[in-house]
Amino acid sequence: MATPPSQNGIPTTTGLSREAGPEDGLGGTSGLLGGEIEIAGTKVSRLGLSTMHLAGRGSWGEPASRAAALDLLRTAVHSHRITHLDSSDAYGPHLVEELIREALAPYPEDLLISTKVGMVRPTPNSWAPVGNPAYLRAAVEGSLRRLGVESLGLCYLHRIDPEVAFADQIGVLDALRDEGKIRHIGIADAPPEDVRWASHYARIDVVQSPLNLENRDDPLLDICRVAGIPYVAGQPLCSGELAEDLTAALSWVLDQGDHVAVIPGTSSTTHLKELVQAVARPLNHPSGTRITTPGWLTP
């Protein structure tokens, strides 16, 4: 397999090929939480919401209270103006997509619902990638049905399956985009070399990757910045380890660049309000200075 053409390590065969500029609309200030960012052709709040925690424990089965899960979704979108929800067919599995439809359909025009395919749940405590093209196609059809839409605004490959040719996994999503069943393709939780390979076979519109104060070094941050691609930061609270100072945790992530959005997760409307307040309350550090040392975490 040949190495993808690149310039300074950035593929030149697709959208991962140019320096982002102001005209890209990748960041800025607005009335939206954390400012505004364009993801998958939609201007959304930089503070999004991961819906992983809306199912039962371990994102498996029914939540403790279905009514509470529905209320959280409605509160996030209608009360707090969060306009970016991140989901997956593996959450539940399948259940969270159904909750989103039940809570929010018909959807607001400015709401971006992203979902992921390519991960199965053999047991409540296990996750496994499945990249068979026929399975991925069926998974997209299932997400369309559960969400009640004709086209997915943003669909990620949840994980790369090492047992299936890379070109086949990305290729089927690209074919589904050509068919209009997917409008934008993302790749999630993949190392930089895999993102480069993915972009060799299809245009990659969004990258999602874990980023937080405990895991700061991700080369994809600069790759996406140079390429003009939104970077969606998952696990910003490091599975709860950084929950004591939400402002520090979320502000640090958002401070990494205007091309960055953040998707913390919660199952509590009280915690949701705290997340919103944390983003609305900027850290007291010198203007224009990125938070790069733990010193900024204390008053």
pLDDT (tens digit per residue) in 236-262: 998 777 778 999 999 999 999 999 999
DSSP assignments along 245-281, one per residue: -HHHHHHHHHTT-TTEEE--B-S-HHHHHHHHHHHHS
Average pLDDT over residues 76-82: 97
| Partners of 265 in the β-ladder | 50
Select the more confidently predicted residue: 96 or 21. 96
pTM (two decimals): 0.86
d(CA 46, CA 26): 10
Which residues contact residue 288 at a Cβ distance below 8 angstroms, ignoring those fewer than 6 apart? Answer: none
91, 156, 201, 231: which one is catalytic?
Answer: 91
d(CA 239, CA 227): 29
Band (pLDDT 50/70/90 cuts) for residue 282 is low
Mean pLDDT over all residues of the chain? 87
- Cis peptide leading into residue 106 (ω within 30°): yes
pLDDT at residue 14, as a whole number:
40
pLDDT at residue 144, as a whole number:
99
Q: Which amino acid is at 154?
A: L
Domain ranges of the chain: 29-283
Of 185, 257, 252, 189, residue with least CA distance to 228: 257
Our answer to whether residue 231 is catalytic in this structure is: no
pLDDT at residue 13, as a whole number:
33
- Cis peptide leading into residue 93 (ω within 30°): yes
pLDDT at residue 242, as a whole number:
79
User: For 14-30, how does the pLDDT look when each residue is reduced to its tens digit (9 = 90+)?
Assistant: 444 333 333 333 444 45
Band (pLDDT 50/70/90 cuts) for residue 2 is very low
Q: 202: alpha, beta or left, given left = phi > 0 and alpha = psi -120 to 50?
A: beta
**Chain CA centroid to CA 270, Å:** 22
Average pLDDT over residues 210-232: 96
Judge whether residue 295 has pLDDT over 50.
no
Judge whether residue 299 has pLDDT over 50.
no
Query: Range with the lowest mean pLDDT among 80-89, 257-266, 285-294?
Result: 285-294
Whether 272 and 80 have beta carbons less than 8 Å apart is answered as yes
Whether 111 and 77 have beta carbons less than 8 Å apart is answered as yes
pLDDT at residue 244, as a whole number:
83
Judge whether residue 8 has pLDDT over 70.
no
d(CA 159, CA 129): 6
Average pLDDT over residues 23-48: 77
**What token pair was written down for 238?**
């490091």
Judge whether residue 78 has pLDDT over 60.
yes
d(CA 213, CA 103): 33
User: For 162-213, how does the pLDDT look when each residue is reduced to its tens digit (9 = 90+)?
Assistant: 999 999 999 999 999 999 999 999 999 999 999 998 999 999 999 999 999 9
Phi and psi at 171, nearest 5°, equal -60, -40
Share of residues in the chain with pLDDT > 90 (%): 78
Q: What is the largest CA-CA distance in the chain?
A: 54
Judge whether residue 155 has pLDDT over 90.
yes
Say which CATH architecture domain 29-283 belongs to. Alpha-Beta Barrel (3.20)
pLDDT at residue 128, as a whole number:
98
pLDDT at residue 209, as a whole number:
98
Q: How many CB atoms lie within 10 A of CB 286?
A: 6
Average pLDDT over residues 61-83: 98
